[in-house]
Amino acid sequence: MVMNKIRPYLMIAPAITVFCLFFIYPIGYMIYLSMHDWNFVSPEKSFVGFANFKMLFSEREFIEVMGNTFTYTILTVTLTIAISLLLALWLNRQGALYGFIQGAIFSPHIISLVSVSMLWKWLMDTDYGLLNWFLNLIGFSNVPWLTDPSTALLSLVIVAIWKGIGFNTLIFIAGLQSIPRDIYEAAELDEASKAHTFFKLTLPMLSPTLFFLTSIGLISSFQVFETISIMTSGGPINSTNTFVYYIYENGFRFFKIGYASAAGVILLVIVSLVTIVYFRILSQRVHYR
């Protein structure tokens, strides 16, 4: 009898152990480190309370990092969703050509982000890059893609969109194909315009897909690291520095572990708040049949 009561807990114990070991404990230890001054080498950690947080918000560089992160996230998620939806509407039809295009635009998704970053770093090279060679060919001057603060962050957004549209497009196509055809037949009988059909039928029926893709897009954009580390190293003049790279730089290059942990706590709070607000506001507008 006792065994029957404890058996469910024994069955979930391995999963709970892994969850606590690799999720709960790291978060707790990060919060602990955020209230200490530690250089990663000395065995002693000096308790400083909320001094690391005060220092963060007094730094102009950190405020710029927050602005860069939000700008990158908003541009990447919005443009990727919009372009992917348009491509899905175009490619949602039968034919070998459309199948080939679907495979072509999906291929960047399966390439590692490190390889993608190295490829685009060469393409966007100011002097020897293929993009500027093409611009010169049609009569335009060189664009300082990664070396000018006014264009560097936008260049990273372009890379993120190129990397992400394939996956989003295929998910949108799957969502479009799950919409019952009789809904469109009824709209045709009512002589509804294409715009009315899209905004009143297609878009509401795609709301679960939009909700899913926007959620994972927000989280992944806040966590961007590889492209920044390889392509710009946060420069020029801090114009492409974002949260995760800022945490890495302070923690593992400058050995300011407490300071980096405080930035990590702030990132955790921001992502949690954005996710909660997003779910509270938009989950009520999702239509599940």
Q: pLDDT, tens digit, for every residue of 77-86?
A: 999 999 999 9
Q: Roughly how many angstroms between the first and final C-alpha of the chain, as a whole number?
A: 44
Query: Is residue 52 in a domain?
Result: no
CATH of the domain at 275: 1.10.3720.10
- Residue 246 domain-assigned (yes or no): yes
Torsion of CA 177, 178, 183, 184, to 10 degrees: -10
276: domain range? 60-285
| Separation in Å, CA 86 to CA 93, 222, 277 | 13, 24, 27
Write the DSSP symbol of residue 288.
-
Q: Is residue 1 part of a domain?
A: no
List, for the chain, all residue ranges whose pLDDT scores fall below the cut of 70: 1-2, 282-289
Crossing angle of helices 257-282 and 207-222, in 10° steps, is 170
Report d(CA 145, CA 126) in Å as an integer: 7
Is 28 a member of any domain? no
Q: At which residue do the structure tokens 């602005």 appear? A: 67
Q: Which tokens sit at 171?
A: 């998910």
Does some domain include residue 215?
yes
CA 114 vs CA 110, 117, 207: distances in Å: 12, 5, 32
In a domain, 71, yes or no: yes
> Is 266 inside a domain boundary?
yes
C-alpha–C-alpha distance, residues 272 and 92, integer Å: 35
Is there a contact between 145 and 151 (Cβ–Cβ < 8 Å)? Answer: yes
Name the nearest CA neighbour of 160 among 283, 276, 74, 64: 74
Are the CB atoms for 179 and 202 separated by under 8 Å? yes
Q: Would you state the pLDDT for residue 240?
A: 94
Within a domain: 20: no
pLDDT score at 93: 82
d(CA 193, CA 200) in angstroms, rounded, equals: 10
Structure tokens at 167: 């996956």
Question: What pTM does this model have?
Answer: 0.90
Tally of structural domains, the chain: 1
Tell me the Cα Rg of the chain: 24
What three-state secondary structure class fits 129?
coil
Short-list 53, 50, 97, 116, CA closest to 267:
53
CB 176 within 8 A of CB 206: yes
